[in-house]
Chains A and B, each alone.
Chain A
Amino acid sequence: MEILVCVKRVPDTAENEIELNAEGNDIERDDLVYSVNEWDNYAVEEAIQMVDKHGGSVTVVTVGDEESEEVLRREMAMGAEKGILLSDDAFEGSDGKGVAAILKAAVEKGSYDLIMTGAQADEGYAQVGGMLAAMLDYPYASLVNSIEVGDGKLKVGREVEGGNIEMNEIELPCVLSIQTGINEPRYVGIRGIRKVASVEIPAMGASDLGIDAGSVGEDAAKVRRIDYFVPEMGEGAEMLEGSTDEIIDKLIELLKSKGGIK
């Protein structure tokens, strides 16, 4: 099975205090370090495991600048065979639809049985996977947390509200957006990355992909971020004091009185 996984380079925000930039429409990025979007690691791990079992190969693709190459290398160190960098000044500032359009063009340049994306990326829009599927006119399953390979189709599990699991059959080719927890992504150390350091990663621009530069990028974006702010801290933060047991009792009382527990 030929699998394409879309991966995104995102700022590592987990433990960093985020500061807004001077314009107030984005976060201060100078002090940030970047890594691959967490969900995408799960997608790549799943793809590698499927290929290990059923044969085929895994290709990773990203839309971004030259620096995005590092996330491709990381995923290749995990076990993806090929990487493709989709990079062009014209792509900059694309909205989700723009990114999906660029990815669609890349999908059509190859022949893939399965396209995987992360369920969402750092900004939580969770839009690229769905739009990509629609543009390709492929069936789509979102928030996938298990995959079984069948003949010409897949059986995919999705976690739905309340922790229930829904099982679906989906025909190939298709697009799946992968939820964390589907597997345990492997660790990639410096050694692994060094091993793939010299592998050639082809870069493709708008013309290589046959995309009209005017249809993507900042100017074509129909969704524009106009503000970015930290909500005002609400009032009513209450520090419970006393011994652990007293604190627990007070907390239970509070939760009861506010209807949190019955």
Chain B
Amino acid sequence: MEAILALIIVAAGVAGVVYVLARRMAPLFRAAKGPAIDRIGERLYGVYWFPHHRMPRPGYEVAGYTHITTLVSLIVLSIHVLMVIYSGFVGFEIPGLESAVGVGYAVISDIALTVLFIACVFAAVRRGVLKPPRYEVPEKYGKDKSRPWAVFLVSFLAAVALLDMIYLGSDAVAAKAAEEGYRFILPLTGTWFAAIIMSGLSASAAGTVNVVSYFILLIGIFVFVNLLPFDRLFHTITGPVTVFCKKLERGSVKPVQWGVDDESVADLESFGVKKFEDFNWKHILDFYSCADCGRCSDNCPANASGRPLSPRFISLKGRDYAFSHYPLKGPFVKNEPLVGDIFSEDEIWSCTTCGACEEECPVTIEYIDKIVDLRRGMIDDGNVPQSLQKPLNALGKRGNPWGKMEKKRPEWIKELPEGVTIKDLSSGDTAETLYFVDSMSSYDDRMMDLARATATVLSAAGADAGILGKNEKDSANDVRRFGEEMLFMELRDHNSEMIAGSGAGNIVTSDPHALNALKKDYKDMPPVEHISEFALRKLKEGTLSFASLDEEEKGKIYTYHDPCYLGRHNQVYDPPREVMDAIPGMNRVEMSRCRDRSFCCGGGGLMLFYEPEEEERMGVHRVRMAKEAGANVIVTACPFCLTNIEDAIKVAGLEGEMEALDLCELVARHIGS
């Protein structure tokens, strides 16, 4: 009789989960093609590594360790849960207790159950009473439906754990009352407490409690599992899959459509994401997997500076869309355009593609690719702000966003310092090393200093270096990231041809955006290095050495700002620091946000032209961070960072007090021995 009841509950529970999951998966099957999943070993390791290392990152230790504890307890308990369910079919006898291994596992389960209970109560109190600001839902994103639900679910889980303790405890009490032997119960575990509290019960009363608690527990377990796909806790099911399918190539951008190569991309009906089903399945899975922990937005510079973008809500709005348009019952709702309705245009243009969100997310949710895909859709529809149309048109016509003449690109080499030489390869000369200058350092008056400093470093290290001169065009790193794929392809093809034609054996650049494009977006390039890597190599080889800082400089405190496209996207964190530290007399401090937590300066490439709604510039935040660290010289390694930070120093009214400098300029000033 009991076995039949248990069977009914289990069957209903399993059917429920299967049905809900099947409905939830429907949009994934209607979605665009996703990435091919290769490198299985690396992926499996990632599933283990990412959640562990990301959850307790600095600032999130409490939440992180609570979460890891819960996760580990649930993994430990997974077999136990199956045993408990099974026990209902065999006279409420937990299997395996005859063996030492079985008893050992039962004891470990008791501990895990206790820990799980405490962690859930703590989490409920934290979300419900302590309310960390990270979980706040700003008014513009509607009512916070999520918090009460979260508190309910963790409380529910705590209740399930409690029921399990009662079930296990009552079994022990019944056995004891019947004067039968029972397995060892570790004192101070939940099961132990439950047994103590119920110790006064007779064998039959304890038996009744045992049976009744079993059925409530069984229902509880299945209700809980059935509730998972309704909210952030869905990540317990989809999260590991998302981490497994994560993009492995940092700094790269997904192709317009997976499985469609460059030759046939132009023939596609439509570009980018315009309606929900234009997202690929991995991205829809991402929406489901977001744990709503708020860390992405907590680290997003666009969010911090008051731009209308909070990455967390890109996911939450995506998930809500999937839930409402693919309801559990009834027909699927016809799709609507996303931009202008679910996502605002400004929201999508506000992202600097800095990667801070992706670096932080414990579930490795991707944002940059989604934003680029949405931008591709807007570009395809011609829906582009006027502030971006001009530079895009100019890039198409003249290969630089200002529409300046091609022949002016190498103007900066006309005023090189004494003894510095660099060849202009457009005249047919050849060189071993190609310096890819890119538009910013070629055309911007101030940034030409940076180009000259780079040439100085190359020259001092004895490199046989040249530039493409008028034959170089914009690297198009940001053209691609702003969604103009066809223009990117045209510029890439032009540069690739010129680079191949130059015969250079290696490429050096001082622009991390160019570095990223050449490494991640171009194909068949000779080895590409950032100038900081080059300088470090030459220092180690002994072909470059530094003279000491002068007395005035020795009094200054330097800090290094990691450019997003050098640090996060290309993992070059140490070379610039090592180069700085090699200058005798250098006094360098770190900002609290450094390395993979670096805070974007405001964005480079086309972001320079976009006019965002914002309360305060990102650069101003960054300059303040440097000031807090006690620095008065901000050294960076990117022409866009330098522009943004120099502007921000003025805006923050810190002229005279703070200064900004490119690493190349610092190095060029101290070449010597």
Q: Contact residues of A with B, CB < 8 Å?
A: 12, 14-17, 31, 33, 35, 78, 184-192, 194, 243-244
Contact = CB atoms under 8 A, between A and B. Distances in A.
Interface of B: 266, 271, 379-386, 388-390, 392-394, 396-398, 402-405, 407, 484, 486-487, 490, 650, 655
A188 B379 CA distance: 8
Nearest to B408: A17
A31 B390 CA distance: 19
A33 B403 CA distance: 9
Given A190-B396, A191-B380, A16 B486 contact: no
B403 A186 contact: no
Main secondary structure of the interface of B (DSSP, over half): helix
6 nearest A-B residue pairs (beta carbon): A186-B382, A187-B384, A190-B486, A33-B397, A15-B403, A187-B382
Nearest to A33: B397
A96 to B, nearest CB: 27
Nearest to A13: B403
A78 B386 CA distance: 15
Given A15-B394, A244-B650, 8 more contacts: A16-B403, A17-B405, A31-B405, A33-B398, A186-B382, A187-B382, A188-B382, A194-B486
Nearest to A187: B384
Nearest to A195: B266
A18 B486 CA distance: 30
Given A33-B397, A187-B392, A191-B266, A16 B382 contact: no
Given A35-B397, A187-B384, A194-B266, A12 B486 contact: no
Nearest to A17: B405
Contacts of A191: 266, 271, 380, 486
A15 B388 CA distance: 15
Contacts of A192: 382
A189 B379 contact: yes
Contacts of B397: 12, 33, 35
Nearest to B394: A15
B478 to A, nearest CB: 15
A225 B45 CA distance: 75
Contacts of B388: 187
Contacts of B390: 14
A253 B215 CA distance: 87
B403 A190 contact: no
22 contacts: A12-B394, A12-B397, A12-B403, A14-B390, A15-B402, A15-B404, A16-B403, A17-B405, A33-B397, A33-B403, A35-B397, A184-B385, A186-B382, A186-B384, A187-B384, A187-B392, A189-B392, A190-B486, A191-B266, A191-B380, A194-B266, A244-B650
A84 B383 CA distance: 26
A14 B384 contact: no
Contact of B383 (A17, A78, A187, A243): A187
Contact of B403 (A14, A78, A185, A188): A14
A188 to B, nearest CB: 6
Contact of B393 (A17, A31, A35, A184): A35
B609 to A, nearest CB: 13
Contacts of B379: 187, 189
B380 A189 contact: yes
Contacts of A184: 385-386
A179 B287 CA distance: 44
Contacts of A186: 381-384
A14 to B, nearest CB: 6
A152 B431 CA distance: 70
A186 B345 CA distance: 14
A7 to B, nearest CB: 15
Given A190-B396, A192-B382, A31 B407 contact: yes
Contacts of A15: 394, 402-404
Contacts of A78: 382
Contacts of B384: 186-187
B490 A190 contact: yes
Contacts of A17: 405
A192 to B, nearest CB: 7
A187 B271 CA distance: 14
Contacts of B381: 186
A28 to B, nearest CB: 11
A35 B379 CA distance: 19
A54 B272 CA distance: 29
Contacts of A187: 379, 382-384, 388-389, 392
A14 B389 CA distance: 14
A142 B649 CA distance: 46
A206 B294 CA distance: 68
Contact of A189 (B386, B407, B487): B487
Nearest to A184: B386
Contacts of A31: 405, 407
Nearest to A74: B393
A33 B388 CA distance: 19
Most central of A12, A16, A78, A191 by chain B CB within 10 Å: A191
A187 B396 CA distance: 12
Contacts of B266: 191, 194
Contacts of B655: 243-244
Given A33-B398, A189-B380, A194-B266, A16 B487 contact: no
B388 to A, nearest CB: 8
B474 to A, nearest CB: 14
A178 to B, nearest CB: 16
Nearest to B401: A15
A21 B213 CA distance: 96
Nearest to B265: A191
A138 B55 CA distance: 72
Contacts of B386: 184-185
Nearest to B389: A187
Contacts of A33: 397-398, 403
A15 B396 CA distance: 14
B486 A189 contact: yes
A229 to B, nearest CB: 22
Nearest to B406: A31
A43 B626 CA distance: 49
Contacts of B484: 189
Contacts of A190: 396, 486-487, 490
A18 to B, nearest CB: 11
